[in-house]
Structures are given as structure tokens and as C-alpha cells.
Amino acid sequence: MRYRAGDAPRPLSGRRFGPPGLVRLVCSFVAFAAGLTATAVASAEPPAFALTPEPSSPSRGNLRQAKNFVGLGPLFGITGHTDDTISGALGFELSYVRYPVEAFGFGLGAFAQAQSVGFTHGRWAFGPQINFMMFGAEIGAYLEEGYGNRATTIGLHASPFVSIGFFSAALRIGVPVSAFSEGTPYGLDLGLICAIKAPIPLDGQLFGLAFH
């Protein structure tokens, strides 16, 4: 290419980067790469969740299993003396039991019974009782009212039982000790007595169900 005198040199076709332009391009590329890397790292991190307060757990009082129970319900069955005929028995029983360690495990308590024998006279019994899981025993004293030529008799009451839920069945043994009035004392008393008692918890829940 020839230049005439007085002509200014024309710029060359095409774009050339001088040192300042090249530095700006490198800086822009580095900034873009850094931003892309930061975005990738941020997307790879697990999302942060806001801390939410845990739901408050129920109070211990509402979850406590009762260990003291009162039971009340009807008695029914058959009973008879070794020197007399068999009669029906109908009445009520009130009991209390405390499980010192674990509910429905080993327990100690007391009982009281009132019943009619053949709808002719009454029989009452009371004393301590012991429980272990579904088994138990009543050991106490009884008083059977005199009837006819029979004297009012007191003696030893012993009654091992088995309970399933609200139902229990017991073998009752009454050993006469002394007559309390004129007449012939009753003989040995044997009976099969059943009961339906609803346990009422005094200090907590029944079978894990809230009772307050």
C-alpha cells in the first residue's frame, strides 16, 4: 500500500487488543469463572432449614401409670357347707391394691365383702390380699349370720383367685373357728365365687389411657 504525501496513515482492518484491553478481557473472564464456580458450590450445598422448636412433650403427670387402684363390683357364685346343702351367693366386693414397683406386677392391698347366702342370711369377710400379675389370694376373717338352728359363726377366710381383665374367679374356703351365738356353728365352707370389678386408678392412668 502506498501513501501519498500529506495523507494520514489509515488504521489497519481488524481489531487488535492492546495491553489494556487484554487485561480487561482476562479480568472479565476470571470474574465470570469465579461467579460460575460460586454458583455451582452454592447449588451443591444442602439447603439450610430454619430451626423450628420441637413440639412440647406431654407432661410426666399425664403419662404416669397408676399404681394405686380401688375395685368395686358384684359377687356371684355358689357356696355350701360340708354338712349342709349348696346355695347361691350374691353380693358386692370392695378392694384396694397398691403396686409398689410396677403396675399389675406384685401388689398388696385389702378387701371387704358383703353377700347373701341363699337369700336367707348374710356373710361378711374382710382382710388383706396379695396380687401377682393375674394371680392373687385373699386371707382374712369372715362372719356368717346364724339362720335356723345355726349359730352366727366366725372363722378364717382364704380365697385364691385368678383375674382376667375385669373378671375374676375364686375358690373360697371358710374354716369355722368359733360360734358367736347360740346354736350349732356352721361347718367348713366351700364355694366358687366370681366377681366383675372395674379398677379405678387413684394416681394416674389405667392401661396407658389418660384418666384425667
What residue spans define the domains of the chain? 67-201
How far apart (Å, rounded) are the C-alpha atoms in residues 159 and 175?
11
Question: Quick one: pLDDT at residue 65?
Answer: 85
| Contact in structure between 34 and 127 (CB atoms under 8 Å) | no
Question: Quick one: pLDDT at residue 209?
Answer: 43
| 70, amino acid identity | V
CATH class of 67-201: mainly beta
User: Could you read off the pLDDT of 142-195 as tens digits, one per residue?
Assistant: 999 999 899 999 999 999 999 988 899 999 999 999 998 889 999 999 999 999
| Contact in structure between 174 and 31 (CB atoms under 8 Å) | no
pTM score: 0.64
Question: Quick one: pLDDT at residue 10?
Answer: 53
How far apart (Å, rounded) are the C-alpha atoms in residues 188 and 156?
10
Question: Quick one: pLDDT at residue 6?
Answer: 52
How far apart (Å, rounded) are the C-alpha atoms in residues 144 and 126?
12
58 — alpha (psi -120 to 50), left (phi > 0) or beta?
beta
Residue ranges in the chain whose pLDDT is less than 50: 3, 11-17, 36, 40-41, 44, 49-50, 53, 55-61, 209-212
Question: Quick one: pLDDT at residue 7?
Answer: 53
Classify burial at 210, counting beta carbons within 10 Å of its beta carbon; exposed 0-12, middle 13-18, buried 19 or more: exposed
